[in-house]
Amino acid sequence: MTLVMLLAGMTVTACRGDDGGTATALDDATLTANAVVEWIVDGDTIDVMIGDDEERIRLIGIDTPEIAHASSGDRPGNDAECFGDEAKRFTESLIPVGTAVRLERDVVGRDDYGRVLAYVYRAADGMFVNDELMRQGYALPLTIAPNVAWADHFVESARRAEQEGAGLWSACR
């Protein structure tokens, strides 16, 4: 019950900079954490503890290349996509296990796999993890309506990363 109330209380916070543009970190340098990173699954999926409950989190609005997966039961395995391992390592460097984070939700709270959909902020400094992955070239925009609060911003971040040849933009041509 605590988990449901905590998740229901999460809301989207689209912050604006002085110029009216969207900021990549919350204006308040530190945030109240509502989760702690337990495991980095891949570049855009993490496991966290929310109170006493473990939840799998899918970062909204971005898509990182897949890492290799072994076959399991009747599910076939797959090879890693270009830059998949690098994206996972970069996510690990941004929010290593034990990092306090702030999860913010959009309209739809869970995907078809039961994962919580969230924008993730590093609590210590407000760094917007979803956008940092995009800006540094480790992710591509993935907009699935109605979770669109940051969609235009992510597209612009990806456009700049591509122009700069950042990350996958130069490694995976």
The model's pLDDT over 5-46, given as tens digits with 9 standing for 90+, comes to 333 344 333 343 333 334 455 555 678 999 999 999 999 999
In a domain, 171, yes or no: no
pLDDT at 119 over 70: yes
Nearest to 105 by CA among 5, 1, 7: 7
Alpha carbon distance 167, 173 (integer Å): 11
In a domain, 30, yes or no: yes
Q: How many CB atoms lie within 10 A of CB 22?
A: 18
Active site residues: 58, 66, 115
Residue 40 belongs to domain with CATH number? 2.40.50.90
Count of domains observed in the chain: 1
- Reported as a single tens digit per residue, the pLDDT across 54-79 is 999 999 999 999 888 776 777 666 78
In a domain, 20, yes or no: no
In a domain, 17, yes or no: no
In a domain, 173, yes or no: no
Q: For residue 67, what are the domain limits?
A: 2-11+25-166
pLDDT at 105 over 60: yes
